[in-house]
Amino acid sequence: MSHSAWSEKMLQLLRRMNNFYSAGSCRANCFRFQVDGAQVGWIPPHVAPLLARYPQVFSPPQDGVVSLCSSLDSYEKRSEAVDAVLQTQRKEDTFTCLKGWRNERYSVMPKFSDPPLMWMERAATSLFGVRRYGVHINGYTVSDSGEVRMWLARRSATKQTYPGMLDHVAAGGLAAGVGIKHTAVKECEEEACIPAAIAEKVKPVNTISYTYEQDGEVFPESQFVFDLELPLEFKPRVGDGEVQEFYLLPIDEVKELLASDDFKPNCAMVVLDFLIRHSFIEPDSEPSYQEFVAGLHQTL
């Protein structure tokens, strides 16, 4: 693939993963989802009428805003009231996304540094455009001559999302009340059988942020990015069955794969960030360097 074709593929990826910000997205028709007076998400237009059926939980849409009722005045009350609504909808099979119910509680707050206002089932967050946080670990080796190779995973064919696609050596969502590095280390152990003694060396290096709409739902996401230099002789092994195989690939091959449609898209973004931070992409030979960085950090 020519350099300019590769570059255009990366720009397409970044545009797709930020399509909520594009002219013509559902954003103009979304309701701001507010809790305790602060916006915590975006409710797509087809979801709002359904929520209006629960006036003891959601106040009726007004001025483009849907709020949780102010009588729900604590973390527990809000979480349980919304969960009850979602459990009902799950049984009624209203939303496809709820078929992927995970029993994983995600924190809901305006900004990551704010105290959580409630928790919400992971599978439901895209109905409310609530930002999800996760961790991604770039696992790589450096040979004695300095050559860098990256460990990639092939996702299991039975994964609920993006089955069979290329992924990081380990990654996962950040559940309510769980530490960030703790999650990174745990995912390394569970998904790739990386012993704690090695996994503890993960280094936090960045975040990426993006928001896409897909099938009428809204996915604002931020990933905490970690680098983990693995010993040359170490081989990740399939752990909890989320992965079918691991590969150790030279950077040139990783770059080519990034531009294929074989990569889970947000992993491709994290790898793009890795390539930039490790100087495998240089601004003089990559005219879109600045646009790449901007596309990795879109927030409203």
Binding site for its own copies (CB under 8 A): 111-113, 133, 179-182, 203-207, 209, 222, 224, 276-279, 281-284, 287-291, 293-294, 296-297, 299
Query: In angstroms, what CA-CA distances link 234 with 95, 125, 140, 237, 248?
Result: 43, 37, 10, 10, 11
Nearer to its own copies, 9 or 159 (CB): 9
Q: Smallest distance, Å, CB 221 to its own copies?
A: 11
CB nearer to its own copies: give 78 or 131: 131
In the complex, what is the shortest distance from the CB of residue 38 to its own copies, in angstroms, rounded to a whole number? 15
Nearer to its own copies, 10 or 258 (CB): 10
- Give the three-state DSSP class for 42: strand
How far is residue 92's CA from residue 151's CA, in Å, rounded to a whole number?
Answer: 42
Distance of closest approach, residue 52 Cβ to its own copies, in angstroms: 30
Task: Please say which residue, 194 or 281, places its beta carbon nearer to its own copies.
Answer: 281
Give the CA angle between residues 192, 195, 198 to the nearest 5°: 105
The dihedrals phi and psi of 150, each to the nearest 5 degrees, come to -120, 135
Angle in degrees, CA 15, 264, 162, rounded to 5: 120
Nearer CB in complex with its own copies: 65/205: 205
- Which residue pairs from 287-292 have beta carbons closer than 8 angstroms and sit at least 24 positions apart in sequence? 287/7, 288/7, 288/10, 288/11, 291/11, 291/14, 292/10, 292/11, 292/14
- Minimum gap (Å) between residue 202 Cβ and its own copies: 9
> How far is it, in rounded angstroms, from Cα 254 to Cα 10?
13
Q: Between 49 and 115, whose beta carbon lies closer to its own copies?
A: 115
Min. distance of Cβ 2 from its own copies in angstroms?
Answer: 16
**Rounded to a whole number, what is the largest CA-CA distance in the chain?**
65
Closest distance between its own copies and the C-beta of residue 207, in Å?
5
